[in-house]
Amino acid sequence: MDDAELSLAAVLVAEATNVGYKPVARPRHRALNRPRLSHVEQNYVRAETLRAANARLIEAQADIPLAQLWGGGMVASVDGLRFVVPVNTVYARIHRVGFGVGC
């Protein structure tokens, strides 16, 4: 597929920023039209491919000395809060009661 990296980057940006395809889609650009972005998302951005990519990132992080000082990949930082992540999981999410969104 020509310009697959561009299509994949557009899908990842749309997903990561939660804006959808509209801001990244360009109807006249083959790699950025909506059918192509939809195809890339459905065929390449799945739990199993994200899990594999995440594993490669964690392995690469192991070679960074500063990451080792900060916990070797088992520490997360969000909005300035640092907390230990006891297990590697793609299923972790907020605790509904603790964050005031009800039960």
Q: Which of 1, 45, 42, 6 has its CA nearest to residue 25? A: 6
What's the pLDDT at 30?
A: 96
What's the pLDDT at 67?
A: 77
What's the pLDDT at 72?
A: 64
DSSP, collapsed to helix, strand or coil, labels residue 53 as: helix
Tell me how far apart the alpha carbons of residues 37 and 95 are, in angstroms, rounded to a whole number. 32
Contact 54, 47 (CB under 8 A): no
What's the pLDDT at 82?
A: 59
Give me the residues of the chain with pLDDT under 70, please. Answer: 71-103
103 token code pair: 């039960």
80 token code pair: 């300035």
pLDDT in tens, 42-71: 999 988 998 898 889 888 887 888 877 776
- Which sequence spans correspond to the domains of the chain? 4-44
What's the pLDDT at 57?
A: 84
Stated as kind and residue range, the H or E segment containing 82 is strand 81-84
Cβ neighbours, 10 Å, residue 11: 22
What's the pLDDT at 35?
A: 96
Q: First and final CA of the chain: distance in angstroms? A: 45
- pTM, 2 dp: 0.59
Tell me how far apart the alpha carbons of residues 48 and 90 are, in angstroms, rounded to a whole number. 10
